Structure 1
């Protein structure tokens, strides 16, 4: 059984780096995950707008999709229309929209209220203004927590400031990239400092309870699994850190099992 605090925590981003799974493989495994006894951990299938025609050609069963729009707000309307007209098995439950320089946010205001809209928060001087727009419009935020290069990883100070600013505005958020493990760690292959998704969860909960950015920095820096797990078990409030994209659903599942935060359960799908 998946505890409430972890329900829907892991969005299936198997087709994105570093996994880069072939689409047919990713769709097959997503169906397996959604049918497994850990299904409550799994969120929607994350897919990029520029590849929608591939999805139309490959989809075989009904699926919940979170569409990523790297081209900005103006690409969202055509993407939704294409999906509606050509991908009948896909139910778009969320949009994740990159905000280019000087982007017009107005097209997002026309989105059906049944779809959750996430705007990717720029890592520059636009951060607060985009968060303000998200708060005003009732959107959610998407915070970048890593990537394929070292500079794609925000340090504790930057990420803590973003989490604090989002929570202060009442904006729930998800995270993307770099959260490969539950606990803060150093990647042994490339030396990158990687945030832990449980650290992010704890920081978000602390911010909701009134913690200051410096406190959040300390939480993001925690490396002791026992300490992090102990704090996780004390959480009773509703999550404000909603989910994160992961190339492998089984990696976070196994991390949570190893930490004793979920009961051992049969996986039912190969890695």
Structure 2
């Protein structure tokens, strides 16, 4: 179970629409990363200078730099991150424009992307998205450390990534365990990734399930092999508040209950 859920949730608190204040987001992240399910902090390039002013000497944060200012400013932003010893750059995430042909936009992005850093390429559900995944896959097969990212995870997207052996990251609207009014839950996505890795392509029913306890029971019973395959496909779920999935996992008995006195999300 620990391997299946390890570092599953990346912290996207600094992003719209909430744009958490830095003096709230960093302390919350420091607290959350003591939990093995918590992953990396996502920081927009436009907020990295602000983040540096709130770091403390003891910090050593695993960071995903999100190129919200575009590909042109990425080399300078990466230099700033690498010059800061209190963060460890893990990856860059960059999304192509939503109104662009996705395949062409990805080709342009890949041609200009620094070659020495792992990158998540954000692909939109717009014309050319399958071909865009083909381009990312081809570049990865030539040795580039690449994966895909999406803010609108869907059954076709997960199946397409599985067909290409392409690891992906997705955005979670609230980080809830099961499907809800705003989108898919993280257990839905995790199980869909496991099914896709096993060769199943009809994933819509899994993504639409709302029975969190039953989903949790299926996750709990998952053997090591399928679990490793699922996480070999699903890198992370990006959530706005790490406390939400942590609390849901505890309620469902998938991680240990905190000690008395530790706060839990409502």
TM class, shorter-length: 0.7 to 0.9
CA distance in 2 between partners of 1:59 and 1:49 (Å): 16
1:199 to 188, 196, 201: 188
Q: How many residues are aligned here? A: 243
Cα–Cα, structure 1 residues 172 and 184, in superposed 2: closer, same or farther, change >3 Å? same
Instruction: Extract unaligned runs of 5+ from structure 1.
Output: 146-153, 187-192
Counterpart among 237, 254, 258 of residue 251 in structure 2? 258
Normalization by structure 1: what TM-score?
Answer: 0.83
Shift of 1:31: 1.6
Q: How many angstroms apart in 2 are the aligned matches of 1:14 and 1:229? A: 25
CA-CA distance at 1:128 after TM superposition = 1.1
Q: Per-residue deviation at 1:253?
A: 0.7
CA displacement at 1:222 relative to structure 2:
0.7
1:12/1:44 contact within 8 Å kept: yes
Structure 2 residue runs without a partner (length 5+): 141-145
Asked which structure has the greater RCO (Cα within 8 Å, sep 6+), the reply is 1
Asked if 2 retains the 8 angstrom alpha-carbon contact of 1:63 and 1:91, the reply is: yes
Which position in structure 2 is the counterpart of 1:43?
39
Q: Deviations over 1:45-94 (max 9, x none)?
A: 11001122212322222211111112443332221112223x33221101
TM-score, normalised to structure 2, is 0.84
For residue 143 of structure 2, what is the aligned residue in structure 1?
none
Q: Is the 8 A contact 2:174 2:244 kept in 1?
A: no
Query: What is the 5 A alignment of 1:28-177?
Result: 28-34=27-33, 36=34, 38=35, 40-60=36-56, 61-85=59-83, 87-100=84-97, 101=100, 102-103=104-105, 104=108, 105-108=110-113, 110-112=114-116, 115-138=117-140, 139-145=146-152, 159-177=154-172
Give me the whole-angstrom Cα distance separating, in 2, the residues matched to 1:179 and 1:134. 28
Deviates more, 1:16-25 or 1:60-69: 16-25
Which aligned runs of 4 or more in structure 1 are off by greater than 6 angstroms?
A: none
Q: What corresponds to 2:217 in structure 1? A: 230
Q: CA deviation at 1:234?
A: 2.8
Please, what is the CA RMSD of the aligned residues?
2.0
Residue aligning to 1:190: none
Distance 2:52 2:134 in 1: 35
SS at match of 1:248: coil
Residue of structure 1 equivalent to 2:199: 210
Q: CA deviation at 1:217?
A: 0.3
Q: String of CA shifts for 1:160-188, please: whole Å, max 9, x gaps.
A: 001100111010111114143100112xx
- CA separation in 2, counterparts of 1:70 and 1:18? 14
